[in-house]
Structure 1
Amino acid sequence: MDNSKRTVVVTGFGPFGEHKVNASWVAVQELKKLGLGNEVDLHVHEVPVEYQKVQSLVPSLWKQYHPQLVVHVGVSGMATTVTLEKCGKNHGYEGLDISGFSPDSQCCIVGGPDCIDSGIDMELVCKRVTTSGLGVTVSVSKDAGRYLCDFTYYTSLYLSHGRSAFIHVPPLGKPYSGEDLGRALKAIIQEMLDLLDQAEEKIHCQQHFH
């Protein structure tokens, strides 16, 4: 086992529309207080709800930190559970961002695949967290909503070959507090790291046999 610290980057979004305080960034700040244990170097970043900022920021996070995992967190006014998103979509970005911009191509990466799945088994993460008695309901979704959340997720999945995750949280108090959401993020990300470790060990074992 490699004892060097693993790096995880977690992002939340800034304010937009009626979300004057974005629950995702509050949740990420609560996660930062809790930390992910001594073995994990956790970096958090607030992402502005702007397509062009995402296009420059996401690659720079990968370049700067070489993280093992990047987790993006966003708020969804429709969500009532903490929702694990399975995939990012490339097309259909018509909604204007906070600076009134949307991509001419209406897509994330021109010529990229229509949809990219996370390399992390979200159903399994959901199952594990649900049985851990967290007190926060977790569910899985296949549609991150074709706005900045989905755009960020796809961009990150494209750059990381699937080593990204996206988590939607409900607005604060509907029903969870920022602290609840921070605890949920911690539990979820620890399970994700666990699964990544297991996948890597499997690959190493297979290499020994060839």
Structure 2
Amino acid sequence: MHQRVLITGFEPFGGEAVNPSAQVLAQLAPWRPAGDASLVVQLLPCVFGQAIAVLEQALRREQPQLVIALGQAASRDEVTVERVAINIDDARIPDNAGAQPIDLPVVPGGPAAYFSSLPIKAIVVALQQAGIPASVSQTAGTFVCNHVFYGLAHALATRHTGVRGGFIHLPCLPQQTAALGPRPGMPLVTMVQAVQIAVQVSLRTSVDLRTGGGTID
């Protein structure tokens, strides 16, 4: 059965000139997963509310069976596969439209949280086996990344049932680390490979691995 895959990323934010998730989208656009699958990409604005609206338009237009949303996590030096999205917006900095919601729900009346429906541990194991630093993350933050992750999960639970989806955070690019001081970084080619692996693992894995991926702090 043909499967359509939607990958999303974000425009730059916080005064930066690039966002690795947008760079990965550009590289992935011509790529075709193995087997009977096709891939489409969608760039999202780093704006509360508007990002979910653009995502919803893409879901309706593309009718994917699998959705992987990407974002930048500047403080991380691994590809981190997110486990849970929480129903809160609590912005430390303004978004690209100048909005800075504090302690507001992503979806009023929605559940407190949603778990990813991606095979998160199988993805992490596959990335590690490919030599790519990766781990399960227990928090997607409270900025627009978590906003989109929760909005995606809510849409899949209520309007696009049967579709699987989740969120993956990427480190900064090397040029960002050079411009902004000592920060973790990862080459673009490695991040592209990581997302390709995540897509292939997600397409072929219906039941996730039962292996340790938690933390003690």
Bin the TM-score by the shorter chain: 0.7 to 0.9
Distance in structure 1 (CA, Å) of the matches to 2:6 and 2:67: 5
Q: Partner of 1:51: helix, strand, or coil?
A: coil
Which sits farther off after the overlay, 187-196 or 145-154?
Answer: 187-196
Aligned to 2:166: 165
Is the CA contact 1:74–1:167 (under 8 Å) kept in the aligned structure 2?
yes
Is the CA contact 2:89–2:101 (under 8 Å) kept in the aligned structure 1?
no
Q: Cα–Cα, structure 1 residues 128 and 180, in superposed 2: closer, same or farther, change >3 Å?
A: closer
Aligned residue among 144, 148, 154 for 2:150: 154
Aligned to 1:195: 205
User: Paired residues, what number?
Assistant: 193
Which AA in structure 2 matches 1:7? R
Distance in structure 1 (CA, Å) of the matches to 2:63 and 2:54: 14
Aligned to 1:114: 112
Which AA in structure 1 matches 2:139? D
Distance in structure 1 (CA, Å) of the matches to 2:55 and 2:32: 22
Aligned to 2:178: none
Aligned to 2:190: 180
Q: Cα–Cα, structure 1 residues 92 and 12, in superposed 2: closer, same or farther, change >3 Å?
A: closer
User: How far has the Cα of 1:31 moved from its partner?
Assistant: 2.4
Check if 1:123 corresponds to 2:121: yes
Instruction: Give the % identical residues.
Output: 24
User: How far has the Cα of 1:105 moved from its partner?
Assistant: 6.7
Check if 1:29 corresponds to 2:39: no
User: How far has the Cα of 1:146 moved from its partner?
Assistant: 0.5
Distance in structure 2 (CA, Å) of the matches to 1:75 and 1:18: 13
Q: Cα–Cα, structure 1 residues 100 and 8, in superposed 2: closer, same or farther, change >3 Å?
A: same
Aligned residue among 72, 78, 95 for 1:81: 78
More helix by share: 1
User: How far has the Cα of 1:129 moved from its partner?
Assistant: 3.0
Deviation string 1:114-137 (CA, Å, 9 cap, x unpaired) is 110012231232123322xx2311
Distance in structure 2 (CA, Å) of the matches to 1:135 and 1:18: 32
Q: Cα–Cα, structure 1 residues 188 and 178, in superposed 2: closer, same or farther, change >3 Å?
A: same
Aligned-residue RMSD, C-alpha: 1.9
User: How far has the Cα of 1:13 moved from its partner?
Assistant: 0.4
Is the CA contact 1:129–1:191 (under 8 Å) kept in the aligned structure 2?
no
Deviation string 1:170-207 (CA, Å, 9 cap, x unpaired) is 111244221111111001111011113x69xxxxxxxx
Distance in structure 1 (CA, Å) of the matches to 2:102 and 2:140: 20
Runs of 4 or more consecutive aligned structure 1 residues displaced over 6 Å after TM superposition = none
